[in-house]
Chains A and B, each alone.
Chain A
Amino acid sequence: MRKTLLKLVLPLLLVITMVMPMMAAFAEGTPAKEPITFTMFIAGPGEAPAKDNKIIKKIQELTGVTIEFEYLVGDMNQKVGIMIASGEYPDIIGAGQARGDFLRGEAFVALDDYLPNYPNLWKHFAPYEKRLRDVSEDGKIYILDIWGRTYRLEDGQDDFYEGDYNGPAFWIQKDVLAWDNYSNPDTLDEFFDLLERYYAAHPTIDGQPTLPFEIHSQDWRSFCLKNAPQHLIGGRNEGDVVVKPDTLEVEIYQNKWYAEKYYKKLNEEYKKGLINAETFTRNYDQYLSVISTGRVLAMFDQQWNFQDGENVLIAEGKIERTYVPLGLTFDGPAAAYNRQRDAGLIGGNGIGISVNCKDIPRALEFMDMLLDEEVQTLLYWGIEGEDYYVDANGRYRRTPEQKANFDNADWRLANAGWDLANQFPKIQGRYSNGNIAFNPAAQPEERLENQFEYDKAFYPKYGYFTKNDFLPTIPYPGYPEVWSIFSTLPADNVAKPIFDEITDLQNRYLPGIIMSNDFDTAWKEYAARYESVDYNALETEIENQIQLRLIK
């Protein structure tokens, strides 16, 4: 039944897609097609754009499509469970973290036969077809990723369009580096040596005791405690494993020499008083709050995780207390950590069209139209002359007023297309005319203009443009970061219980090891416990998963 319907619809669709642009050209300003409303559930928190949002209205005129959003309120498993059990799906589903449940519940339509008919969508997804397929058990495409497709022009300028690096690094206060004549330590020993010297010279900051090195270790945020060793030997942020670059062999590392070496160093620094015992008992709010006082000199963390604390420093004008990333290694030189080019999309991180969708081709056509560069500009930059202007060189620019509008979340709900566009596949990186897509604030000219006075003096001391330049870049190795593979694995994958077990073990032991009087004994006990877990099975499974997702 469905097959025959498909056969009927496909040729029709072809005709429509060919005729449509012509029709649109003839009838400008009037709806291109009959109005239709799609319901859409997002398995995550959020806010729907205002009904009279000026951009959304334009999109409606252009496409005839209205999207009615329903965001997740309350418990995800419960909501999704009920949805699957009842089979009452909306037209489109933003699967979020519940992708596995929806896939197993067979909530989505396979899009394999449809996709090649939509030029923008096909151009967008074809390079990553393999990853889209690998998410499902039967190898069909059900979920279209909404994040991670970066368009580059390869004109040597692409790096300037990167947003601020917000990934893992040893983050250090600018003032510490400036005090040391703008030094740039690249080994762990130099780094702690600098902290020791600065601490000795500045035992208090603003009247409160200085905290030289913080290690946050609560719950899932314990990556601040555990993830450094993989980088110290030059690796990317895989999370809980290290992947050997040439053979793609996988290795659990919390019991390896480089982990031991790192924790031993921390143990020494703890004994010297550079690490405060209380760092392990601070909850996340308390961690942010000590950072916001400006007396934390450095930590290993990912910037998005401590951003809220840093924002307080910025608001108070303490720019010298904000942080730059260092790519420390054991023996130098600095490593890239996670500053990599063109990671691409992960697979499974996006939206699907439900089996109940009232008009599948129309929904896909809508997504296809959204991927048009002009529509993307409308969605993310707004209306020319109103929300941004184009200068003599064809560059998109914003006045301070226009920028301030966009920085205001309430204004955006009523006047910008972000809240709609963020839920669909989008262009990231650059448009073909060279301007930045998706994130207007990262347009290089604007970024340079908006830099703080302190930063304008600070970065040139190193010959840098932004804090990103503290880290070198690495080419993309062809597979997604392992932690993201983990998050898309189905719940009954063999690796999961093993992973749970070692995570528990690590969180339980590591703080105590760093604080122990006798490091070697404590480490031996921990390493022995580690051997009771069958982590080889996890390594093998991850090796398979990497091969599945590898794109060369």
Chain B
Amino acid sequence: MKSEGVIRKKGLLYRISTQKELTLLSLPFFIYFTIFNYAPLWGLTMAFQNYRPNRSFSEQEWVGFRHFEKLFTDPDFYRVMRNTLSMSIINLVFGFVSAIAFALFLNELRGKAFKRITQTVSYMPHFLSMIIVCGLVSNFLAMDGGIVNELLLRTGLIKDKIHFMGEPGYFWWIVGFTNVWKSMGWNSIIYLAAVTSIDPALYEAAAMDGCGRFGRMWNITLPGIKSTIVILLIMNAGWILNAGFEMQYILGSNGLVLDVSETIDIFVLKRGFGRSNGYAFGTAAGMFKTVVSVVILTLFNKIAGMVGEEKLI
């Protein structure tokens, strides 16, 4: 046993010495991640303390899982989990479908100039700040001169103006739709790139066999980018508890829709900083979120492996 350890140690040193350049290249990243991603993990200890600022670590009072107990018995917690998951699933489904569909259709476009322009225009919203996007949305949907209400009213589709921003039933869909509008173009880039790696001979063969346009899309393009789709699905699944923060915070902070707009991130912020002595509780809630994300990510990764797709890790 002992000798094996020595050999392994030697092996590692040997590997490092033979790959000096590579090791050196990776060093900055190693340092970066250590400082900014691993060292802050230390702060998670707060979740198990009755944390008070201005006190040294040894002076903190340890309380075990009390904050987690409080979290799981908090009725608000289940409400924000429901909101988070609902909005997340809406975002995931619609974001995925729209980006893939958009990439497929864009790929079928013949006119090169038109295709380029469409693509550029479609990913422009991605670069807009969330504040501006939310300003646009609330102006479009306003009752007082908002374009959507005016259009619906003038085309006779509705009789009374709709209070979009104040109706709890609409909120998730407004967020979902806005997300699609903002990120569809950008997210489709990666699929378009994947499409270009498909062998053109396959299309020719299919065309010769009498396969139509939709048939080719379905039977060649989609299977061709399947592994990309799966990888992205795994990555996105890990973010399932990240339903967003800014949009819900900006658009949903009025009392009428607060019950459906608060996500777990807003909950962490409000309890952690908005309330007195909430740091520890906020940390506990944030930690719960991270743990769930890691579990889901691992799970999806396993599933992907089982169905014979490429795995992320």
List, in ascending order, chain A residues with CB within 8 A of B274's CB.
500
Binding-face segment, B34-42, B195-203, B251-259, B284-292: B251-259
Whether A164 sits at the interface, judged by CB under 8 Å, is no
Contact of B54 among A104, A492, A509 (CB under 8 A): A104
B146: nearest chain-A partner, CB-CB: A278
Residues of A within 8 A of B165 (CB): 278, 281
Nearest B residue to A491 by beta-carbon distance?
A: B276
Using A85-B54, A101-B53, A278-B144 as known contacts, say yes or no to A500 and B276 having CB atoms under 8 A apart.
yes
A290 to B277, CA, bound (A): 38
**How many angstroms from the CA of A509 to the CA of B103 in the assembled complex?**
44
Partner of B142, one of A278, A492, A510, A512: A278
B256 contacts A218, C-beta separation under 8 Å: no
User: Is the CB of B275 closer than 8 A to any CB of chain A?
Assistant: yes
Query: Would you give the shortest CB distance from B142 to chain A, in whole angstroms?
Result: 7
Closest CB in chain A relative to B271 CB, distance in Å: 9
Task: Check B224 for interface membership: any CB of A closer than 8 A.
Answer: no
Q: How far is the CB of A509 from chain B (nearest CB, A)?
A: 7
Cβ of B276 and Cβ of A507 under 8 Å apart?
A: no
Contact A281 B277 (CB under 8 A): no
Tell me whether A508 and B258 are in contact in the complex, defined as CB-CB below 8 angstroms, given that A492-B276, A496-B275, A497-B276 are known contacts: yes
Task: Report A-chain residues with C-beta under 8 Å of the C-beta of B166.
Answer: 277-278, 280-281, 511, 515
With a cutoff of 8 Å between Cβ atoms, the chain A residues found around residue B256 in the complex are 280-281, 511-512, 515
Closest CB in chain A relative to B91 CB, distance in Å: 22
Whether A39 is near chain B, meaning CB under 8 Å from some CB there, is: no
Q: How far is the CB of B254 from chain A (nearest CB, A)?
A: 5
Q: A283-B250, A491-B277 are in contact. List 19 more A-B contacts (CB 8 A).
A: A105-B54, A209-B144, A217-B254, A276-B143, A277-B163, A277-B166, A278-B166, A283-B253, A286-B138, A491-B276, A492-B52, A493-B276, A496-B277, A497-B277, A507-B255, A508-B259, A509-B255, A510-B255, A512-B255
Main secondary structure of the interface of A (DSSP, over half): helix
Instruction: Assess whether A497 is in contact with B275, with CB atoms less than 8 Å apart.
Output: yes
23 CB < 8 A contacts A-B: A81-B54, A84-B54, A105-B54, A218-B253, A218-B254, A276-B144, A277-B143, A278-B144, A278-B163, A278-B165, A278-B166, A280-B166, A280-B256, A281-B257, A283-B138, A491-B277, A496-B275, A500-B274, A500-B275, A500-B276, A508-B258, A508-B259, A512-B255
For chain A, residues 103 to 135, give those with C-beta under 8 angstroms from any C-beta of chain B: 104-105
Q: Which B residues are in CB contact (< 8 Å) with A508? A: 255, 258-259
Say whether A217 contacts B144, CB under 8 Å. no
B178-205 to A contact mask, C-beta < 8 Å, 1/0? 0000000000000000000000000000
Contact A219 B277 (CB under 8 A): no
**A280 partner residues in chain B, CB cutoff 8 A:** 166, 254-256
Contact A278/B275 with A218-B253, A511-B254, A512-B255 known, Cβ cut-off 8 Å: no
- Nearest first, the 8 closest Cβ-Cβ pairs linking A and B are A496-B276, A281-B165, A511-B255, A491-B276, A281-B166, A500-B275, A278-B143, A507-B255
Hey, which chain B residues are within 8 Å of A497, CB to CB?
A: 275-277
Least CB distance from A526 to B in Å reads 11
A174 to B251, CA, bound (A): 34
- Considering the complex, which residues of chain A in the window 65-104 have a beta carbon less than 8 Å from any beta carbon of chain B? 77, 81, 84-85, 101, 104
